[in-house]
């Protein structure tokens, strides 16, 4: 980055616009000394309980939280995987269905895929096995209650297994429980083993019942999850438990280096619009759609999305929001994911595709490289679906509590590119989002190992991007 800035200085160019970068993530530590000066300030809004700028969001001074209810009494921290949520949604419909009665075979096939991907069947099988053992436990306990002089309160496992009871049903029950009983130890009291089993089994049943009957806490937000126009929900509270990820990402883009002047962001002059929409687990499509539209409507020119997932029930909703951002000339930059997968062949969302399957011109997807300039072992890749690579290992940035930490991932490489993009948009405000994307792809440093792993075949190069942007700007 220093070389790029030196080149621009030699060319006697100066930043002509302060760029707002929207960070769609887990929120940030709003007390961070290194981030507070970089926060976007909504100049038309006051922190007074009123929607001063009439944008539909009350007190959105620094951004918005789409994961909290209006009064601030609940904030969603964990959401599980999208596959589990989809399984949970369909489980009441298909849990006891007979195959010959199924009318919507496509939905049933989808349900079976979600069930498999959620890994729930192994747990259900375990519960069913435990139910068999539960019958054996109850039978043994009921028989013990009929034995004259039996003091169940002092009965040990050793005494139980040596009781002279000649009964096939009893013997079968004891055989079923033999492994459990011996694991507990011969001197363990039967009553304690039995009670522990009953408590464990009750918890299992409660969890299974919850799949069917416990409402998704996301519903507490009060919006219609299937209506993208119903996006005026949430609150202005940007800090929440689990916001370390968003804090780190913000620091990579525009950390000020106040606590440690050797640790600054890629483009500290950026102003960070914080949009909390990513809980632990998979993000909801509705929240990402709302977040993109919020960023586009409130002045962001670059949006960092260090997020992604493999199942997206409302992918079109998100793609429509990306199309909306394109009309607003907003560049969106997304992480490619950390599962070593070729996402040319494995669906990864947001897909950022229009109705004809063409990738939007304002959308970049980023892989991770290591310090040697080689692709990170964990990084997803794809010559069609990943655009460029950027440093994503051994990166230091700010975290919660004014501390620093080292992290890695495509989520970390992505804000590196967002910082470079923000710099280019600051110096060359007349260049469109699509042109900035094109410049970032064409100006990479070629790496032989990346030839078949991303569209550009290389790693982000701020200096070459600045040079190419200068040429593009001359043609305006």
**SS3 annotation, 63-111:** EEECCECCCCCCECCEEECHHHHHHHHHHHHHCCCCHHHCCCHHHHHHH
DSSP per-residue letters across 311-345 = --TTHHHHHHHHHHHHHTT-EEEEE--SS--BTTT
The per-residue pLDDT for 347 is: 96
Cα–chain center distance at 25: 8
Which candidate, 276, 286, 356, places its Cα nearest to that of 315? Answer: 286
What are the mean pLDDT values of the chain's consecutive 10-residue runs (476 residues total)?
94 95 97 97 95 97 97 93 94 90 93 91 89 94 91 92 88 91 90 95 90 89 96 96 96 96 96 97 97 98 98 97 98 98 97 94 98 96 98 97 96 98 98 98 97 97 97 85
Start-end ranges of CATH 3.40.50.200 in the chain? Answer: 2-75+231-474
The per-residue pLDDT for 294 is: 98
The per-residue pLDDT for 157 is: 92
The per-residue pLDDT for 8 is: 96
Domain 2-75+231-474 has CATH 3.10.180.10: no
d(CA 91, CA 209): 11
Residue 389 in contact with residue 373, Cβ under 8 Å?
no
Handedness of CA 163, 166, 169, 172 (dihedral sign): positive
d(CA 125, CA 99): 20
Residue 295 in contact with residue 330, Cβ under 8 Å?
yes
The per-residue pLDDT for 208 is: 85
d(CA 166, CA 60): 75
d(CA 373, CA 287): 35
The per-residue pLDDT for 3 is: 95
Residue 332 burial (10 A CB sphere; 0-12, 13-18, 19+)? buried
Residue 243 burial (CB count, 10 A): 23
Predicted model pTM: 0.89
d(CA 145, CA 148): 8
């Amino acid at each position: 980055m220093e070389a790029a800035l030196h080149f621009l200085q030699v060319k006697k160019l100066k930043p002509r616009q302060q760029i707002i970068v929207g960070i769609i993530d887990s929120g940030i530590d709003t007390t961070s000394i290194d981030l507070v000066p970089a926060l976007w300030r909504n100049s038309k809004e006051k922190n007074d309980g009123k929607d001063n700028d009439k944008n539909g969001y009350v007190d959105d001074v620094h951004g918005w939280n789409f994961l909290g209810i209006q009064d601030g009494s609940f904030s969603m921290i964990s959401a599980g995987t999208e596959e589990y949520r989809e399984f949970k949604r369909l489980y009441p419909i298909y849990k006891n269905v007979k195959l010959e009665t199924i009318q919507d075979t496509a939905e049933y096939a989808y349900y079976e895929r979600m069930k498999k991907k959620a890994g729930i069947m192994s747990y259900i099988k375990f519960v069913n096995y435990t139910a068999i053992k539960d019958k054996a436990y109850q039978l043994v306990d009921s028989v013990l209650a009929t034995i004259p002089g039996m003091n169940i309160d002092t009965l040990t496992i050793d005494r139980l297994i040596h009781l002279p009871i000649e009964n096939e049903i009893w013997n079968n029950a004891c055989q079923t429980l033999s492994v459990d009983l011996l694991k507990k130890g011969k001197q363990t009291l039967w009553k304690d083993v039995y009670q522990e089993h009953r408590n464990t089994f009750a918890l299992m049943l409660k969890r299974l019942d919850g799949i069917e009957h416990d409402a998704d806490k996301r519903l507490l937000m009060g919006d219609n999850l299937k209506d993208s126009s119903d996006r005026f929900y949430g609150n202005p509270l940007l800090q929440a438990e689990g916001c370390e990820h968003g804090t780190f990402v913000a620091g990579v883009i525009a950390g000020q280096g106040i606590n440690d002047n050797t640790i600054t962001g890629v483009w500290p002059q950026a102003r960070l619009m914080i949009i909390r929409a990513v809980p632990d687990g998979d993000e909801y499509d509705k929240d990402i759609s709302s977040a993109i539209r919020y960023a586009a409507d409130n002045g962001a020119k670059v949006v960092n999305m260090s997020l992604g997932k493999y199942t997206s029930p409302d992918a079109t909703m998100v793609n429509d929001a990306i199309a909306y951002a394109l009309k607003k000339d907003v560049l969106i930059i997304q992480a490619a994911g950390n599962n070593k997968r070729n996402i040319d062949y494995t669906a990864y969302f947001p897909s950022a595709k229009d109705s004809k399957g063409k990738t939007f011109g304002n959308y970049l997807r980023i892989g991770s490289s290591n310090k040697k300039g080689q692709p990170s072992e964990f990084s997803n890749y794809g010559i069609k679906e990943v655009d460029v690579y950027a440093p994503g290992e051994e990166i230091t940035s700010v975290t919660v509590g004014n501390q620093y930490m080292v992290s890695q991932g495509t989520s970390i490489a992505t804000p590196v590119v967002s910082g470079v993009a923000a710099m280019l948009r600051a110096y060359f405000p007349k260049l469109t989002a699509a042109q900035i994307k094109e410049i970032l792809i064409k100006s990479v440093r070629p790496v032989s190992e990346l030839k078949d792993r991303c569209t550009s075949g290389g790693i982000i190069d701020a200096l070459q991007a600045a040079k190419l942007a200068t040429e593009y700007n001359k043609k305006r």
